[in-house]
């Protein structure tokens, strides 16, 4: 039903539209305004009674030439506007000019928590979107970890037993190629372990910096007047130490070498009084010694 512009019905309908916009519109701000909520409930109740009376009157056959009487709302003048009401799930959907459409629902059916109406649907968390984003993030992390693992595997590939360089170590890089030939010289057996390993002098704290406990060192047989020790680092490395008995680690005539698990642990020293190089390679229960000797120069045989 249409109400003349400026009438009481028109004013109340306009007020109802504004309160509905505050309650159900995109910029809803009626929550916490008890006066506005109460007024909205009052106007909506009057509107429902008016619509109920209209539906009841429509069921009565009207005589030609006689208007059908419609009871006025009990709470005061009825309200009306140019909007069109349509049934939608037991409520009425109104299309407001310039505001789109919203649903006129019974306030008694809206979920209320602590006296505050539930938030509109567009303000509720989109759990499906959040869950999808979390799954996508996990997939990206898994892909990154897999790619990094493959890259590390290609760089740090342990040598298989049959291809270990202990069998034939290469010529030391510090000497010209062709001047020295690899020739296994001797294998040093394990001599003692732990506290009986005759600990080396470590005045510079080398063992501590490498993460090796002196009580877990392994002592091997001497070679050419040198003492040899081996040990496992808590950082996942195997270390080999070669030193003169009186001197300590990293003092004077000494050598050391550390390597990750799966790689040969090598320490090298020049052999005193000769042009040869001694290479010590750490094994599980022994140390292999290789001596690289200078080959004879064919030009020295010519007259």
Residues 170-208 pLDDT 10s: 555 555 555 444 555 788 888 877 666 677 888 889 999
Q: Are residues 207 and 272 in the same domain?
A: yes
Cβ atoms 242, 267 nearer than 8 A:
yes
pLDDT of residue 34: 86
What's the length of the chain?
303
**129 token code pair:** 């979107």
Decide which of 72, 106, 125 is a domain's last residue: 125
Distance CA(279)–CA(257), nearest Å, equals 11
Residues 260-277 pLDDT 10s: 988 999 999 988 888 788
**265 token code pair:** 């642990």
**135 token code pair:** 């799954």
Is the pLDDT confidence value at 93 over 50? no
Is the pLDDT confidence value at 10 over 70? yes
Is the pLDDT confidence value at 164 over 90? no
First to last CA, the chain: 133
How many distinct structural domains can be found in the chain?
A: 2
Distance CA(297)–CA(277), nearest Å, equals 18
Residue 250: inside a domain: yes
Is the pLDDT confidence value at 284 over 60? yes
Q: Are residues 108 and 44 in the same domain?
A: yes
Residue 102: inside a domain: yes
pLDDT of residue 156: 43
CA distances from 70 to 14, 49, 92, 161 (A): 21, 11, 20, 102
- Mean of all residue pLDDT scores within the chain: 71
Cα 82 to its chain centre, rounded Å, is 56
Which has more pLDDT, 217 or 198?
217
pLDDT of residue 190: 80
State the pTM of this model: 0.40
Q: Are residues 296 and 172 in the same domain?
A: yes
Q: How many CB atoms lie within 10 A of CB 231?
A: 22
Under the banding of pLDDT at 50, 70 and 90, the label for residue 90 is very low
Question: Which structural domain range is residue 269 located in?
Answer: 166-300
Is the pLDDT confidence value at 56 over 80? no
pLDDT average, residue stretch 287-292: 89
Distance CA(219)–CA(196), nearest Å, equals 8
Residue 239: inside a domain: yes
pLDDT of residue 141: 92
pLDDT average, residue stretch 215-224: 88
Is the pLDDT confidence value at 246 over 60? yes
Q: Are residues 105 and 24 in the same domain?
A: yes
Radius of gyration (C-alpha) of the chain in whole angstroms? 47
pLDDT of residue 120: 59
Distance CA(172)–CA(176), nearest Å, equals 8
**303 token code pair:** 């007259």
Indicate the helix (H) or strand (E) that contains 166: none
| H-type alpha helices, the chain | 8-24, 34-59, 127-155, 206-210
Residues 110-156 pLDDT 10s: 554 455 556 555 555 666 778 878 898 988 898 888 777 666 555 44
Instruction: Return the closest-CA partner of residue 94 out of 39, 8, 3, 14.
Output: 14
Residues 12-41 pLDDT 10s: 888 888 888 888 888 888 888 888 888 888
Q: Are residues 170 and 267 in the same domain?
A: yes
pLDDT of residue 224: 87
């Amino acid at each position: 039903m249409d109400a003349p512009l400026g009438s009481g019905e028109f004013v109340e309908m306009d007020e109802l539209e504004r309160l509905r916009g505050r309650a159900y519109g995109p910029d809803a701000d009626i929550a916490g305004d008890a006066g506005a909520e109460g007024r909205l409930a009052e106007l909506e109740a009057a509107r429902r009674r008016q619509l109920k009376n209209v539906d009841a009157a429509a069921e009565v056959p009207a005589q030609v030439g006689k208007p059908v009487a419609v009871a006025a709302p009990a709470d005061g003048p009825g309200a009306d506007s140019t909007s069109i009401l349509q049934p939608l799930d037991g409520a009425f959907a109104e299309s407001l000019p310039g505001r789109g459409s919203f649903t006129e629902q019974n306030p008694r059916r809206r979920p209320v928590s602590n006296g505050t109406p539930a938030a509109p649907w567009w303000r509720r968390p989109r759990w499906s979107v959040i869950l999808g984003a979390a799954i996508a993030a996990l997939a990206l992390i898994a892909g990154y970890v897999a790619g990094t693992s493959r890259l590390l595997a290609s760089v740090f590939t342990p040598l298989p037993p049959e291809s270990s360089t202990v069998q034939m170590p290469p010529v030391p890089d510090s000497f010209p190629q062709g001047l020295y030939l690899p020739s296994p010289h001797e294998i040093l057996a394990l001599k003692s372990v732990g506290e009986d390993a005759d600990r080396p002098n470590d005045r510079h704290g080398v063992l501590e910096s490498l993460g090796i406990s002196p009580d877990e060192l392994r002592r091997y047989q001497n070679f050419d007047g040198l003492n040899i020790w081996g040990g496992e680092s808590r950082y996942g490395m195997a270390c080999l130490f070669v030193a003169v008995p009186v001197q300590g680690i990293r003092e004077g005539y000494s050598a050391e070498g550390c390597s990750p698990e799966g790689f040969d642990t090598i320490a090298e020293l020049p052999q005193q009084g000769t042009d040869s190089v001694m290479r010590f390679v750490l094994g599980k229960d022994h140390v292999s010694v290789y001596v690289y000797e200078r080959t004879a120069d064919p030009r020295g045989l010519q007259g």
